[in-house]
Amino acid sequence: MQRDLRLDNVGRRYGLRGPWVLRGIHLTVPPGTLIRIEGPNGTGKSTLLRLLARIDAPSEGRVSGAPRTAYVPERFPTALPFTALGYLTHLGTVHGLSRPAATRAALEWLDRFGAAPYARTPMAQLSKGSSQKVAVVQALLAEPELLVLDEAWTGLDSDARAELERAVAERTAGGTAVVFVDHDPRRLAGVPDATYTVRDSGLDLRTEQPPEEAAGPRVTVVAQGPSGGQLPGDAQRAVVAAEEPAPGTHRLTVPASHSDILLRALLTARPPWHVVSVRQEPAGPDTESRR
């Protein structure tokens, strides 16, 4: 099965003679990549995400590839006749988990997002923020190969926003491709492999990070490992800057949301690295590119 999702010369318009919302779109989404889509309101970002999630079909062109996909829509239907846990357990079984395993996974994810107290609340009675957590959990529960997030952070409290950033970092480190739209330019600042702007029904690859995007909070970890040594794979993916000021001493900078991934990668390496210090940095520009 082809895990890269590809859009070849894709166009989408609504109605036979409607204006082209998107046209001539070429985009490949390989496993493990993080892609940000941006653009002014009404330019077609959600339309593009629905095509990527394959819940909509193009009016022309071709979408190919069949990664297992999960999608958090801009508007999640809340008036479902389930409790949060009932809904998530049901979805877990659809994704192939046994019922007990689905319940366990749903509870774990709800707990990660601080929503465990509402597990048995009917969906229709959940606050906007809590139902958004359910929307996010239903997508993560599926352990997708492609995760499509349409303003998934909107409505979440700050802990849950940070948790979703962590979950995205974990998933991309594990090989999941993630495509997201978010109105906050600081979201996953400096982390995406590519940022595209929807403009005039086309897609522009942005090659430079604007200053505000490179200015998210960072964590610098000083660790001792092999001299001239290769960073463990997950650490390599997470870091935005790496230097070796003395043989075997490595200074590694990651977006704050990736710090636990870096630490886990270092501590679980064979042989494990020794972590000397962990320091939160004020926001600042990129000093080196990733990878």
Ligand X SMILES: Nc1ncnc2c1ncn2[C@@H]1O[C@H](COP(=O)(O)OP(=O)(O)OP(=O)(O)O)[C@@H](O)[C@H]1O
Which residues are near ligand X by CB under 6 A?
Answer: 14, 21, 39, 41-47, 74
Where do runs of H (alpha helix) occur along the chain?
45-52, 84-94, 99-112, 128-141, 158-173, 233-238, 259-267
Token pair of 17, please?
Answer: 């003679």
Q: Give the span between the Cα atoms of 242 and 122, in whole angstroms.
A: 48
C-beta of 67: minimal distance to ligand X in Å? 22
Q: Return the number of the residue (75 or 291) whose C-beta is nearest ligand X.
A: 75
Inter-residue contact 276 to 252 (CB < 8 Å): no
C-beta of 15: minimal distance to ligand X in Å? 7
C-beta of 46: minimal distance to ligand X in Å? 3
Tokens 């990664």 locate to 67
**How many angstroms separate the Cα of 84 from the Cα of each of 48, 78, 91, 111, 132?**
28, 10, 11, 12, 11
Q: Return the number of the residue (47 or 89) whose C-beta is nearest ligand X.
A: 47
Q: Give the span between the Cα atoms of 32 and 123, in whole angstroms.
A: 32
Q: DSSP assignment of 53-72, as one string?
A: TTSS--SEEEEE----EEEE
C-beta of 35: minimal distance to ligand X in Å? 15
Q: Return the number of the residue (25 or 97) whose C-beta is nearest ligand X.
A: 25
Q: Return the number of the residue (14 or 99) whose C-beta is nearest ligand X.
A: 14
C-beta of 44: minimal distance to ligand X in Å? 4
Q: Return the number of the residue (102 or 136) whose C-beta is nearest ligand X.
A: 136
Entry field: residues in the chain? 291
